[in-house]
Amino acid sequence: MLLLIPGPVQTRPEVRAAMAQDIAPWDNDFKAVLTGIRAKVLALAGGVPGEHEALMLQGCGHFIMEAAIRSLVPAADAAAPGKILIPLNGTYAGRVERLAREAGRQVVTLKLPETRSVTPAEIAAALAADPAITHVAMVYSETGGGIVNDPNVIGPVVHAAGRRLILDAVSAFGALPFSLAEHPECDAVMFTSGKCLEALPGIGFAVVNTARLQAGAGNAGSWSFDLADVYGQVLRAGPGSFRFTPPVQVLAAFAVALDYHAAEGQPARMARYRENSRVFHQGMRRIGLKPYLEEAQQGPIINIIHQPPDPGFELQRFVDELKRRDVLISNFYNTPTPTFRVGCIGDVTPADMERAVAMVDETLTVLQIRQRG
């Protein structure tokens, strides 16, 4: 089966095989694995030892994003409240907005079309217009529509305005470039084990500026989601320790996936995903379907395609029929109009994407979908 979803992704058999063991979290052998993961993740994020720390939380991307926002941005009723600007050009940015609001944080959104990146001028204007904004929370690769908001372009604007950046790099990290050493404005960059790092889902990472984190200690309003407390554990009990029971097998597999990532390298992984995305995007046009984005706005992580206008098209039937041809895609979409979504990440190649294009074509023919785009 070719799994083409934006996480959990298709993994290597060697990565999955590392899960087939029983592990005690406090065992010295496992401590060494955890310590190694922490050091490698810190280096991957361009973190500076002594300034940044790689923190982990059990669970999914939403959990680690909520933890970062709670731990770094003072609540609306704090003595010096924080205020978060969120460029809103996709569903995942909308999720950051919701979890920030439900955590009692002040939020202001910058509403944009879902079909293009936010520009530095738009961020600069929004920051100039509201001096109360303390943080910008931005989604690097917007998994909703497939566009990319580049922190390497936006970060300097946030820095110049004297504000802080919180980066949701959940579907970007490991493929798209980002280095904390080059982003003094960045308080934290978040990602998970199960997307571009090509491991199993179950762990959220936040590589944080520790001085900023400690300055905000007591902000979180939640013990489970308090990253200052997670960091406190690292200081108290060492980098090989975890606060509560971790998914040990997922971490063992993650260590193996990191080795494969190191062997491929971030630039080559990005190039592979870009080619996967290009092959699929152009393939869709070739077989008469209409991509959601112009090619210039198309990011390397996920392709969104308009559903054929043919009245006979039904998404679940299409997904089921495609699965019978060994290609599995999402059975839902996150855009205002009906689309289908196809991930370009994981242990997949451009040749796999070519096969997926051929199978989409065959499936539509079998389902007698004549009006395609």
Ligand X SMILES: *Cc1c(COP(=O)(O)O)cnc(C)c1O
Burial pattern 42-67, b for ≥16 Cβ within 10 A else e, equals bebbbbeeeebbbbbbbbbbbbbbbb
Measured from the CB atom, the residue of 304 and 357 that comes closer to ligand X is 304
Residues of this chain, 196-215, that bind ligand X according to CB under 6 A: none
**For the chain, give me the number of helices (H) and strands (E)?**
12, 11
User: At its nearest, how many Å lie between ligand X and the CB of residue 61?
Assistant: 2
Which of 49-57, 165-173, 344-352, 360-368 is the region at the interface with ligand X (rule: CB under 6 A)? 165-173
User: At its nearest, how many Å lie between ligand X and the CB of residue 156?
Assistant: 22
**Does the footprint of ligand X cover residue 139 (CB under 6 A)?**
yes
Query: How far is residue 370's CA from residue 151's CA, in Å, rounded to a whole number?
Result: 42
**Does the footprint of ligand X cover residue 87 (CB under 6 A)?**
no
Q: Where are the alpha helices (DSSP H) in the chain?
A: 13-17, 28-44, 61-72, 91-102, 120-129, 151-160, 210-215, 227-237, 248-264, 266-286, 315-323, 350-366
Measured from the CB atom, the residue of 61 and 155 that comes closer to ligand X is 61
**Does the footprint of ligand X cover residue 170 (CB under 6 A)?**
yes
Inter-residue contact 171 to 147 (CB < 8 Å):
no
Measured from the CB atom, the residue of 195 and 372 that comes closer to ligand X is 195
User: At its nearest, how many Å lie between ligand X and the CB of residue 302?
Assistant: 8
User: At its nearest, how many Å lie between ligand X and the CB of residue 207?
Assistant: 15
Measured from the CB atom, the residue of 54 and 148 that comes closer to ligand X is 148
User: At its nearest, how many Å lie between ligand X and the CB of residue 253?
Assistant: 16
Residues of this chain, 15-74, that bind ligand X according to CB under 6 A: 60-62
Measured from the CB atom, the residue of 139 and 251 that comes closer to ligand X is 139
Contacts of 93 (CB under 8 A, 6+ apart): 86, 87, 109, 138, 139, 142, 144, 168
**Does the footprint of ligand X cover residue 192 (CB under 6 A)?**
yes
DSSP letter assigned to residue 117: P
Measured from the CB atom, the residue of 139 and 360 that comes closer to ligand X is 139
Query: How far is residue 49's CA from residue 32's CA, in Å, rounded to a whole number?
Result: 18
**Does the footprint of ligand X cover residue 143 (CB under 6 A)?**
yes
Measured from the CB atom, the residue of 168 and 185 that comes closer to ligand X is 168
CA proximity to 52, closest of 44, 60, 63: 44
Measured from the CB atom, the residue of 192 and 209 that comes closer to ligand X is 192
Strands 83-88 and 186-192 turn out to be unpaired
Helix (H, G, I), strand (E, B) or coil at 115: coil
79: exposed, middle or buried (C-beta count within 10 Å: 0-12, 13-18, 19+)? exposed
User: At its nearest, how many Å lie between ligand X and the CB of residue 60?
Assistant: 3
The three state secondary structure string of 342-354 is EECCCCCCHHHHH
Total residues at interface with ligand X (CB under 6 A): 12
User: At its nearest, how many Å lie between ligand X and the CB of residue 169?
Assistant: 8
**Does the footprint of ligand X cover residue 183 (CB under 6 A)?**
no
Query: How far is residue 19's CA from residue 262's CA, in Å, rounded to a whole number?
Result: 20
**Does the footprint of ligand X cover residue 7 (CB under 6 A)?**
yes
Residues within the interface to ligand X (CB under 6 A): 6-7, 60-62, 92, 139, 143, 168, 170-171, 192
